A = this chain, B = another copy of it.
């Protein structure tokens, strides 16, 4: 009890809603809490801020500590401040969302996380704190952010097929998209180019590989 202030100060944490697309599903990264409160419950990765770091530094550190994921795209989502959202003390949390491409999906549970797992968005377990609310907010934001073509590129590998990209859009929006219209739109943006190589997987025609220009 050695940090004293003239006025009450809330605790400040960060939490992150890390999204990825696996097969045809939008998935979210959860950890099982190793400590009370909500010990054993599933929750978003996150934790308390240190005095010398920004919120973004904090959330990247916590994500790396608890799940091993680092160096992914992240953006601030919203700050949640209901006075009773944490049973221990007054805790204000700034939530971020992260976009994790397929080659960064490898996770390990560590630090305050007994376990870490990807969950399809439909069919999440009950979540600790107000984390279900945070996940809903993040999902809505992701749908909006999909209008920026850069968003979907962050959820595929550096080299990808147009079908890969379409799967990302479909998983996020939860609807089927017409293939010809999708390709016309994407190619019309002039943001990607063919690599020249093709990818063969399965008993069918190989797909042209593309990359983002520059």
Contacts and interface: CB of A to CB of B under 8 A. Distances in A.
A6 B9 contact: no
Most B C-beta atoms less than 10 A away, residue of A10, A52, A78: A10
A81 B51 CA distance: 10
Contacts of A52: 83
Number of copies: 2
A3 B5 contact: yes
Interface residues of A, number: 31
Given A3-B4, A3-B8, A10-B12, A79 B94 contact: yes
Given A79-B55, A94-B79, A11 B5 contact: yes
A79 to B, nearest CB: 5
A2 B83 CA distance: 20
A48 interface: yes
Interface of A: 1-12, 48-56, 76, 78-79, 81-83, 89-90, 92, 94
A-B complex: 3 closest residue pairs judged by Cβ atoms: A9-B9, A4-B4, A55-B81
28 contacts: A1-B5, A2-B4, A2-B6, A3-B4, A3-B5, A3-B6, A3-B8, A4-B4, A4-B5, A5-B5, A5-B9, A7-B48, A8-B50, A8-B51, A9-B9, A9-B12, A10-B12, A10-B49, A10-B51, A12-B12, A49-B92, A51-B83, A52-B83, A54-B81, A55-B79, A55-B92, A56-B81, A79-B94
